[in-house]
Amino acid sequence: MFYSESRIFKNEEMLSHDYLPELLPHRENQIKQIANNILPASKGRQPQNTFLFGSPGIGKTASVKYIFREFENSSGAKTVYVNCWDYKTATAVLSKIVIDLGYPIQRRGWGKDEIFNRLKEVLNKLNKGLIICLDEIDQLEQEALYDLLRLDVDIPLGLVAISNNQFVFADAEPRIRSSLAMDEVEFKPYTLMEMKDVLQERVKHSIISVEDGVVLLAANQAVQKGGDVRIGLQCLLKAGRVAEQENSNKLEVEHMRKVLKEVKEVKPEILKEKINDGEKIILEILNGGKKQQSGELYKEYCRLVKDPVSDRLFREYINHLAEVNLVKINKRKLHGSVRIISKV
Ligand SMILES: Nc1ncnc2c1ncn2[C@@H]1O[C@H](COP(=O)(O)OP(=O)(O)OP(=O)(O)O)[C@@H](O)[C@H]1O
Ligand SMILES: [Mg+2]
């Protein structure tokens, strides 16, 4: 026999970070708020645009996909999910929506106005409400939002935007901001006990037998290393593989201990992609591991780059790095308040 059934995993793929679980513990309130906001779309009324923000790996995307799945099943309104990392321009986003609604278009050769008009036509034929999720909306060019807002169609149309950055709309044109009129939904990091429940729920469906303490160890690692659930999932997957190699029929604390050192952060390359060049330089300065006072850090940054950004924008960079968990900010009271920045 080339392969035998695993004695550890019953559904290994349920530990994958792409897997959308049947239950999302501790996100009930957020899910309710988002669902209530978009529900009018399925009754022919205008939905409330909604903005979700919070640090990486705490269920923002999963919550929206969960709600969209329910909506599609009950067929009250149509939903389209767009990750703006993959569709950054107005043309790309508008075409993606047309295609997802089942109307093929040739991406090449069509100008933006044609795609815009095509989308309008398609929407007016839809005969039901539409909710569009723009995930990682900080990656989207502003023009795309402007286009979506001026669609002016006969059906109820709502937007759900997601970002790590709470202030992503702060620099948007005031007329865009006011027509968006977003209801904000904050996602706070899970506490240790919440993280344990979240992982426990995933383990229940994916691993046959687990020793007490294993899930708590994985949850602790995830919380200590920035709060990303994906870290916990990775720990469980790796520990499960170790258990298999050791021919065990149970995932034990010993197996988990062996992998904890390896699993420190999730997809650092993805986190790094989310940051701009200025932010990358800040990280390089902090790479030596020492803590820096924000004023000193700014001076060092100005020394290294040709066109340094303003003091104010620099602060935004630091805040953004903190939001994606790449730096830590500690406030210290000396003369006034001083911010001490260090790498996570
Ligand atoms: N409450 C939960 N229950 C079960 N799984 C969860 C829960 N919260 C998050 N997860 C899982 O954690 C992983 C990361 O969640 P998700 O992709 O939603 O994060 P995110 O907040 O969108 O992060 P990012 O800002 O990096 O995009 C996914 O596999 C998701 O299914
Ligand atoms: Mg996400």
pLDDT (tens digit, 9 = 90+) per residue, 238-265? Answer: 999 999 999 999 999 999 999 998 876 6
Q: List the chain residues with pLDDT less than 70.
A: 1-4, 107, 264-273, 333-336
pLDDT in tens, 97-123: 999 999 988 767 788 999 999 999 999
Atom of ligand 1 nearest to the CA of 20: 31
The structure tokens listed for 68 are 């969209």
- Please name the residue whose Cα sits nearest to atom 8 of ligand 1: 59
Please choose from 61, 69, 135, 196 the residue to mutate so as to test ligand 1's pocket, defined by most ligand atoms within 8 A of CB: 61
Residue 244: which of 1, 6, 58, 5 has the closest Cα? 6
Residues of the chain with CATH 3.40.50.300: 28-186
**Could you say which ligand is closest to the alpha carbon of residue 187?**
1
Which pLDDT score is estimated for 280? 86
- CA–centroid distance, residue 229 to ligand 2 (Å): 11
Residue 188: which of 321, 20, 30, 25 has the closest Cα? 30
Which pLDDT score is estimated for 41? 95
User: Could you tell me which CATH class the domain 12-17+190-260 is placed in?
Assistant: mainly alpha
User: Could you tell me which CATH class the domain 28-186 is placed in?
Assistant: alpha beta
- Please name the residue whose Cα sits nearest to atom 29 of ligand 1: 17
- CA–centroid distance, residue 303 to ligand 1 (Å): 39
Which pLDDT score is estimated for 1? 44
Which pLDDT score is estimated for 265? 65
Q: Report the C-alpha gap between 84 and 300 in whole angstroms.
A: 33
Residues of the chain with CATH 1.10.10.10: 275-343
Show Cβ contacts of residue 6 under 8 Å, excluding neighbours closer than 6 positions. 12, 208, 244
- Please name the residue whose Cα sits nearest to atom 3 of ligand 1: 24
Which pLDDT score is estimated for 107? 62
Which pLDDT score is estimated for 273? 62
Residues with CB under 6 A from ligand 1: 17, 21, 24-27, 56-62, 164, 198, 201-202, 229-230
| DSSP sequence for 13-46 | GGGSTT---S--TT-HHHHHHHHHHHGGGGGTSP
**Could you say which ligand is closest to the alpha carbon of residue 274?**
1
| DSSP sequence for 234-263 | HHHHHHHHHHHHTT-SSB-HHHHHHHHTT-
- Please name the residue whose Cα sits nearest to atom 19 of ligand 1: 57
Please choose from 55, 230, 235 the residue to mutate so as to test ligand 1's pocket, defined by most ligand atoms within 8 A of CB: 230
Which pLDDT score is estimated for 268? 54
Residues of the chain with CATH 1.10.8.60: 12-17+190-260
Cα dihedral: 299, 300, 306, 308 (round 10): -50
Q: Report the C-alpha gap between 74 and 72 in whole angstroms.
A: 5
Which run of H or of E encompasses 43? Answer: none
For domain 275-343, the question of CATH label 3.30.365.10 is answered with no
**Could you say which ligand is closest to the alpha carbon of residue 324?**
1
Residues flanking ion ligand 2, Cβ below 5 Å? 61
CA terminus-to-terminus distance, the chain: 47
Count of residues for the chain?
A: 344
- CA–centroid distance, residue 152 to ligand 1 (Å): 33
